[in-house]
Chains A and B, each alone.
Chain A
Amino acid sequence: EVQLVESGGGLVQPGGSLRLSCAASGFTFSDHYMDWVRQAPGKGLEWVGRTRNKANSYTTEYAASVKGRFTISRDDSKNSLYLQMNSLKTEDTAVYYCARGTLGYCSGGSCVYYFDYWGQGTLVTVSS
């Protein structure tokens, strides 16, 4: 059974830092892209960023709203995904989900890429 379990959320002051973790089990972690998606209170889903798998050199991509402040990393030996969040702002307050990305075929510049498993989320509150 695939499981994703986030941890590390909490209350942090503006300008502070926090590191989230996501422990994966039930699948070959190193084969998969892994993403972070967040949801502000009462709002919709917002993609935060992604790390590709080893076959794709673990490259990362980020949403413009977090680029330069957030860093995604992974440790395949520990089946773990991380999100280092620096220079936090009040607007970063959200539930943060890790999600397993599944990349299908690509055609005409468009790819099939979706999230087939999600963690339960961890709440990050940025407030003074």
Chain B
Amino acid sequence: SYVLTQPPSVSVAPGQTARITCGGNNIGSKSVHWYQQKPGQAPVLVVYDDSDRPSGIPERFSGSNSGNTATLTISRVEAGDEADYYCQVWDSSSDHPVVFGTGTKVTVL
């Protein structure tokens, strides 16, 4: 089945930029979605279809996808952005069509 690899952790100072990568074989040919999950809460969709934002999500959250890597970028990081982040794709070639990344813990220093 398709595998999505994320760094376990990313640390960033307030006001700086955090970049979270999601690696997968030819992921640039797929549509990538990103979720934010704070402790004890359900995941929240922050970016869908590589770079679109749901209503209510700040413009500070942006996404890109090319080649073997998709990236979620959080600009002007705030303390409230500290959370786990997961990427997700649909892989129609396997019997496990919905695949989540391994997750990245973002720590705001």
Contact = CB atoms under 8 A, between A and B. Distances in A.
Interface stretch (A17-25, A74-82, A105-113): A105-113
Contacts of A46: 100
Contacts of A109: 92-93
A112 B31 contact: yes
A116 B45 contact: yes
A47 B29 contact: no
Given A109-B92, A109-B93, A113-B90, A47 B30 contact: no
B42 A118 contact: yes
B7 interface: no
B98 A35 contact: yes
A44 interface: yes
B103 A45 contact: yes
A111 B103 contact: no
Interface in A11-70: 35, 37, 44-47, 50, 61, 63-64
B43 A111 contact: no
Interface in A81-124: 97, 102, 104, 106, 108-116, 118-121
B96 A45 contact: no
Contact of A110 (B29, B45, B86, B98): B29
B65 to A, nearest CB: 11
Nearest to A61: B97
Contacts of A44: 84, 86, 100-103
Contact of B43 (A45, A61, A63): A45
A118 B101 CA distance: 18
B54 interface: yes
B100 A118 contact: no
Contacts of A108: 29
A115 B43 contact: yes
A114 B100 contact: no
Interface of B: 29-31, 33, 35, 37, 41-45, 48-49, 54, 84, 86, 88-93, 95-103
Interface of A: 35, 37, 44-47, 50, 61, 63-64, 97, 102, 104, 106, 108-116, 118-121
5 contacts: A44-B101, A47-B100, A106-B92, A109-B93, A121-B42
